[in-house]
């Protein structure tokens, strides 16, 4: 396991992100920065978290897209916390790496979208999220620490994460909060419906306005918000669900966003129980869930594993914070595998959906100073 640098007694958020080493766990959010090192225990299921953290501990890590598959959760030896990173993005040069090759599955993705559109005809499937991959190969092993630093500096308002998977590192910057629990108060921030950002202010504003007024995207968003509200309702004595979405900007995308607030009926309901009730949402899977998951298994030529899973932490009080593992990639030696997906509904266009996935890949590609090959 990595050895952390000696940290000051009151380490700043910048201290913690700088102290991250490959093999540790880093999680930044609007509520603060968490850096965990070492492993007292490694858990393969969130069901084992309550016993593992019963004596005032904490568990960190990743739950896969398929909740029945093994998780990668760790009870760390050392945990450091600090406040949130400054909200303004920092100017930082792209990752210093010499890239040798790209491998894309764009053609297979177009074919998958066309097939999914055919499956909508019988009415059993209402929405499905299809994903694709982009592999980048460097001349030398990728510096995970440097890449994490670049990602955190570019989008400090979101959730930057790095989690050890044993043979590789999962890292990214997710804008989508699945669930946060603080005492009796819970918050979920589902996102669905998006448009790319533009450096041209006029074009950028047009994209935002088009997204907010798009019937297709509004329907897609409503499906996700309804699913989140329905999942949380049995646990909450109060639940606030705005009737209209907001526009949420990241560096690369405009999103339709709804913040769902709740007050737990039972103060002992832990965050991992809420996570299990919510995951996976239609934002990363589709609806109906079982049908969409079957279609994903048939049409995606790879196992998602931890992509579109959830990453975060849970403590002995039942508090915690879990975000959806989107805008993410996996580093294994000199290879970086990136993932991006788009929600399909009747009327979707294969070229538009491919363009959307390309825009989502820009979270990483801009941090690398790389353009996707056609």
Per the listing, tokens 């992509």 go with 307
Identify the DSSP state of 316: T
Catalytic residue chosen out of the listed positions 176, 305, 321, 353? 176
Task: Check if the beta carbon of residue 366 is closer than 8 Å to that of residue 338.
Answer: no
Question: Whole-angstrom Cα distance, residue 125 to residue 109?
Answer: 18
3-state DSSP assignment of residue 50: helix
Name the nearest CA neighbour of 324 among 270, 282, 355: 282
Beta bridge partners of 88: none
- Among 160, 102, 173, smallest CA distance to 371 is for 102
Give the whole-angstrom CA distance, residue 360 versus residue 7. 35
CA 260 to chain centre: 18
Rounded CA gap, 256 and 246, in Å? 6
Compute the distance between CA of residue 244 and CA of residue 67 in angstroms, rounded to an integer.
30
Clarify whether 371 is annotated catalytic: no
127, 220, 321, 356: which one is catalytic?
Answer: 127
Residues 6+ apart with CB under 8 A from 118: none
Is 22 annotated in the active site?
Answer: no
Contact at 8 Å (CB) between 153 and 147? no
Q: Tabulate helix, strand, coil % of the chain (nearest 5).
A: 30, 35, 35
Q: Which of 356, 325, 323, 327 is nearest to 342 (CA)?
A: 356
Radius of gyration, alpha carbons of the chain: 20
**Beta strand ranges found along 56-190 (DSSP E):** 58-63, 72-75, 78-82, 99-104, 127-138, 159-164, 169-174, 177-182, 185-189
Catalogue the active-site residues. Answer: 127, 176
């Amino acid at each position: 396991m990595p050895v952390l640098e000696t940290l000051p007694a009151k380490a700043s958020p910048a201290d913690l992100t700088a102290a991250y080493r490959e093999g540790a766990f880093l999680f930044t959010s609007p509520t603060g920065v968490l850096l965990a090192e070492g492993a007292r225990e490694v858990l393969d299921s969130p069901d084992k978290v309550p016993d593992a953290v019963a004596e005032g501990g904490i568990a960190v890590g990743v739950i896969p897209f398929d909740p029945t598959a093994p998780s990668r959760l760790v009870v760390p030896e050392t945990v450091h916390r600090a406040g949130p990173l400054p909200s303004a993005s920092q100017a930082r040069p792209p990752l210093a790496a010499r890239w040798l090759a790209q491998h894309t599955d764009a053609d297979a993705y177009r074919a998958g979208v066309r097939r999914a559109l055919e499956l909508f005809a019988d009415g059993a499937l209402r929405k499905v999220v299809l994903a694709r991959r982009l592999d980048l190969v460097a001349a030398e092993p990728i510096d995970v620490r440097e890449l994490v630093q670049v990602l955190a500096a570019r989008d400090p308002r979101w959730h930057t994460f790095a989690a050890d998977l044993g043979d590789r590192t999962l890292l990214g910057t997710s804008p989508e909060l699945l669930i946060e629990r603080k005492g009796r108060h819970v918050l979920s921030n589902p996102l669905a419906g998006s448009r790319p950002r533009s450096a041209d202010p006029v074009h950028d504003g047009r994209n935002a306005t088009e997204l907010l007024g798009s019937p297709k995207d509004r329907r897609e968003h409503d499906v996700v918000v309804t699913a989140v509200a329905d999942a949380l309702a049995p646990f909450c004595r109060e639940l606030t669900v705005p009737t209209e979405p907001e526009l949420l900007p990241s560096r690369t995308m405009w999103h339709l966003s709804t913040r769902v607030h709740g007050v737990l009926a039972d103060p002992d309901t832990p965050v991992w129980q809420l996570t299990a009730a919510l995951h996976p949402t239609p934002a990363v899977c589709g609806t109906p869930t079982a049908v969409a998951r079957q279609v994903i298994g048939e049409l995606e030529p790879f196992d998602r594993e931890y992509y579109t899973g959830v990453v975060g932490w849970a403590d002995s009080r039942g508090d915690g914070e879990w975000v959806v593992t989107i805008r993410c990639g996996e580093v294994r030696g000199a290879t970086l595998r990136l993932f991006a997906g788009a929600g399909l509904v009747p009327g979707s266009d294969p070229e538009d959906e491919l363009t959307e996935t390309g825009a989502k890949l820009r979270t990483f590609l801009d941090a690398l100073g790389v353009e996707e090959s056609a």
